Structure 1
Amino acid sequence: MKSAVETLNPTRVRLSIEVPFEELKDSLDAAYKKINQQVTVKGFRKGKIPNRVIDQRFGRGAVLEEAVNDALPKFYTEAVNEGELNVLGQPEVDITELKDGELLSFTAEVDIRPTIEIPDYSGIEVEVDAVEVKDEDVDKAVEELRGRFASTNPVERPAAAGDVVTIDLEAKVDGEVLEDGVAEGVSYTIGSGELLDGIDEAVTGLEAGGEATFTSSLKGGSAEGKEAEVTVKVTAVAARELPELDDDFAQMASEFDTLDELKADSRKRLENMKQYDQATQAQERVLEKLLELVEVPIPEKLLEDEVKTRKHNLEHHQLGQMGLDIEKYLEIQGKTAEEFDAELREQAVKGIKTQFVLDELVNKEKLNVNQEELTEHLMRRAQSSGMSPDQFAQAVVEGGQVPMLVGEVARGKALAVVVEAAKVTDTNGDPVELEDEEDEAAEASDSSSEEKTTEA
């Protein structure tokens, strides 16, 4: 077999491959055997039809077609390996010549990973938000905890903000009561925003036995998204009573003996959360700076496939779970279809560029992924997916996605190397020391290339 590589552009090549006919012998034998098992000829037992009879009855061309289809993937793969090409996706194959008994020639056009030069990244500088926890932040956290221990007591007065009302609901569309538009005995806290738009205004000021009618867009059910006339009747009003903020509350709501200890713990938790947010911000901003330093040509077909995948996942998975279609989503976002497509394409470009650059860094820095790192990453991914680690691991193995997870961990390690070399300061001008860089870097790099490109 002979092969030659022609570079069409930085991300696409054409392979020209010539195969001497004798190298098709195994595929020809397999073709005759396959046809033998599929056809019957009077006078011959199934599977025992001579090759010359198959040629006469069904045509030599059918045999050659079957043989070539069997042989092409093998010779294509040999040519790719010979040319040391890092191919992306499936090739476009064109048979240029097929001479029975002499020669098979074909071309294969395919996208390849571009050659990327990683420049010196040690001079990257980024600024992140300072970690500052104010007294009002602590007070708000304690107040939220206090609210979870509130009690309710029935009252005989008009309902007010913060009260818990028991209500019956009836929704009509075009004057007809919906089959799934009736609910009784619903408990609702006024001001929580957990039910329909307009309900807070409707029930505020009503006593037990009072009712009101308002118009609202339905958030679910058979008439989701439609305007409905909703009648609400208040059957009970209860006031929420918060426990006193004292040491007794601290002992009831936590493992601490005093309110001061509870507040100190709340402050520490808030600091940890802000430190995590700060680290994530640092990863993202360092990654942005890194991408600005590197020129990366993007394979057009790969980009189009990535855009289609992202759009499909948004429309059929994310929006479906939210009960929205693309038109409603665009209306909520205040975007035109053209603006949405442009934004999606920009995200796809960034995702592909991120993956290419970080993969090149993995090779340059000779980074490896061990079993412990892979297991930790799998546990995090399982938690974010809502699956148990065992279920997620099984799904990953069955879907052949282990290499994808290994790639995610490796890219996280590559970004951590860049972050470690970068100068990170906060808005106060103080240097920021980041811990557990690889974990956060993996998440930052994953979020930029959430829909992974598929390599052949």
Structure 2
Amino acid sequence: MKSAVETLSPTRAKLTVEVPFEELKPSLDAAYKKIAQQINVPGFRRGKVPPMVIDRQVGRGAVLDEAINAALPQLYVQALRENELEPLAQPEIDITKLEDNESLEFTAEVDIRPEVELPDYQGLAVSVDDLAVTDADVEEQLQNLRERFGTLADVERAAAEGDFVTLDLKATQDGEVVEGAEVSGMSYQVGNGGMIDGLDEALTGMSAGEDKTFTTQLVGGELKGEDVEVHVTVSAVKEQELPELDDDFAQTASEFDTVEELTADVRTRLERGKRLEQAAAARDAVLEKVLDLVEVPLPDAIVDSELKARRDNITQQLAYAGMTMEQYLDSEEQTVDEFEADLEKRVRDAVAAQFVLDQVAKKEEISVNEGELQEHLLRRAQQSGQNPQEFIQHMVEHNHIPEMVSEVVRGKALALVVEAAVVTDESGNHVELKNLLPDGTIGEPGDEAADEPASESADAAESAEGAEGTDAAESADSTDSTEDETKA
């Protein structure tokens, strides 16, 4: 077999393959045996029909089709290896010449992995925000913890900001109730600002048993920007009573004996969360800088496929949340064009990052051992909320393990590049990246996670401990969370 390659673009190649007919003999023999098992010819047992009889009964063309279809995959793979090409998608194969008992010639056009000339990633300098936990941050978390243990008591007075009211609400236009704009018996905190413009102002000063009608404009849906009449009735006004921030509260809300110990624990957790955020910011900044320094040709088909997959995922997740795309764009104050441009940039950055990290892994001869793969699978199962055994079984049954291996390899390549960078904060202090896990994700430092106290105050600071990074960094871990996607 002879093969030659023609470069159509940096990401697409055309193979021309010539196959002498004698190399097709094994496939022809197999084709005759297969067809012999499928036909009935008087005077011959099934499977024992001679080739010349098959040629008369079925036709030589059918035999050639069977043989060539069976041989093409192997011939194609052999041509790829001979020319050191890495395909990214299924090829477009065209048989250009077939002369019986002479030769076979075919072409295969396919998207290929582009050649990436890596920049020098040793000592890249990036800067991230200072790690700062203020007294106000700590006070906010302690206040949230107090509110978790607060109680509501009915009051015989008008509602004020911070009070909780039980209300019925109905929006109408021209006497018709607006679809989805009617609630009953809902608890709402005055001043929350999370429902309808003008509601907080209307509720302030209302007492139990009173009602009021006001005019506002809806911010989403089919009637966006149009005036509607909102009728609200208050059936109860409750005041939140918070426990005193003292030693008794510390003992109730945590395993600590004093409020000083509780406060110190909250500060420690906030600092830990800030370190995670800082490490994630450093990781993303380093990868972004690498991408700025390298030219990565992107196959259009790969980008288009990823864009479609992400759009479908966003649509599905919005449907689960009961939102339309229009409502989502309204809430994010984005136009369709802005959303599409942002999503395409994120996809292009993610695909480019994959190619770059794959090249880094190849250069650094990065491999994955069984323990690293197992740890990654367990982390992925935890992130998706699935049973680990069921998750791993699904990955095996659907042949996704190679993808998982690629994710870990890219993650280790990303970690290597980040660790080689010089990261400082805005004050010029060197940033230690001890939260960067071997697979490129951000996790708890081992020395802190080992003795993590199991207190209620963990929940008070948990919102600061969820740094996950941007899409560019997530290219090392191809699972895209719904929240990240819908923030495109």
**Same fold flag (TM > 0.5):** yes
Instruction: Give distance in 1, aligned partners of 2:72 and 2:301.
Output: 22
Q: Which residue of 2 aligns with 1:322?
A: 321
Contact kept? 1:411, 1:442, Cα under 8 Å: no
Equivalent residue, structure 2, for 1:436? 435
Q: Please say which of residues 6-15 and 94-103 is displaced more in the overlay.
A: 6-15
SS in 2 for 1:237: strand
- 1:391-414 Cα distance to aligned partner (Å, 9 max, x none): 332332233222222222221211
Change (3 A) 1:255 1:224: farther
Residues 194-205 of structure 1: pairs in structure 2 closer than 5 A: 199-205=199-205
Q: Does 1:186 align with 2:213?
A: no
Structure 1 range deviating more: 190-199 or 108-117:
190-199
Query: Which residue identity lines up with residue 261 of structure 2 in the other structure?
Result: E
> 2: CA distance between counterparts of 1:394 and 1:200?
52
Q: Does the CA-based 8 Å contact 2:411-2:476 persist in structure 1?
A: no
Q: Which secondary structure does the structure 1 equivalent of 2:91 belong to?
A: strand
Counterpart for residue 266 of structure 1: 266
Tell me the SS of whatever aligns to 1:153.
strand
1:346 is aligned to 2:345: yes
- Give the Cα–Cα distance (whole angstroms) in 1 for the partners of residues 237 and 42 of structure 2: 90
Deviations 1:334-364 (A, max 9, x none): 4444443333332222111111111111111
Identity of aligned residues (%): 53
Measured in 1, the distance between the counterparts of 2:114 and 2:204 equals 63
Q: In the alignment, which residue of structure 2 is the partner of 1:368? A: 367
- Do the aligned partners of 2:121 and 2:417 also contact (CA within 8 Å) in 1? yes
1:291-349, Cα deviation, whole Å (9 max, x unpaired): 222222222322232222222322x3233233333344444444444443333332222
Once the two structures are TM-superposed, the CA of residue 419 in structure 1 deviates from its matched residue by 1.8
Contact 2:126–2:285 (8 Å) recurs in 1:
yes
Which amino acid is the alignment partner of residue 400 of structure 2?
Q
Q: In angstroms, what is the RMSD of aligned CA positions?
A: 3.2
Cross-structure match for 1:114: 114
Give 1:70-109 correspondences, 5 Å limit.
70-109=70-109
Map of 1:8 onto structure 2: 8
TM-score (norm 2): 0.82
Pair 1:234-2:234 in alignment? yes
Aligned pair in 2 of structure 1 residues 190, 440: CA closer, same or farther (>3 Å)? Answer: farther
What pairs up with 1:29-428 in 2 under 5 angstroms?
29-35=29-35, 51-169=51-169, 175=175, 184-193=184-193, 199-213=199-213, 217=218, 231-314=231-314, 316-428=315-427
Give TM-score scaled by structure 1 length.
0.87
Which runs of no fewer than 5 residues in structure 1 stay unpaired? Answer: none
| 54-63 or 376-385: bigger deviation | 54-63
Change (3 A) 1:230 1:409: same
Alpha carbons of structure 1 residues 328 and 151: separation in structure 2 relative to 1, 3 Å: closer
Tell me if the contact between 1:203 and 1:211 (Cα under 8 Å) persists in the aligned partners: no
What is the match of residue 447 of structure 1? 474
Q: Structure 1 CA distance, aligned partners of 2:108 and 2:260?
A: 72
2-structure distance, mates of 1:226, 1:389 = 48
Counterpart Cα distance in 2 of 1:179 and 1:415: 49
Note the alpha carbon deviations across 1:3-40, whole angstroms, 9 max, x for none: 22222232222111112223323433444455455566
Structure 1 CA distance for aligned equivalents of residues 174 and 395 of structure 2: 48
| One-letter amino acid of the structure 2 residue matched with residue 253 of structure 1 | A
Q: Secondary structure at 2:96's aligned position in 1?
A: strand
Q: Show CA shifts across 1:423-442 (max 9, x none).
A: 11111111111103235833
1:61 to 1:255, Cα distance in 2 relative to 1, 3 A: same
Alpha-carbon distance change, 43 to 211 in structure 1, aligned in 2, over 3 angstroms: farther
- Letter of the aligned partner of 1:139 in structure 2? E
1:126–1:425 contact (8 Å) kept in structure 2: yes
Task: Please tell me the residue identity of whatever aligns with 2:411.
Answer: G
- What is the deviation of 1:229? 5.8
SS of structure 2 residue aligned to 1:442: coil
* Greater shift in the superposed pair: 85-94 or 393-402: 393-402
**Secondary structure of the structure 2 residue equivalent to 1:212:** strand
Count of matched residue pairs:
450
TM-aligned CA deviation for residue 255 of structure 1: 1.3
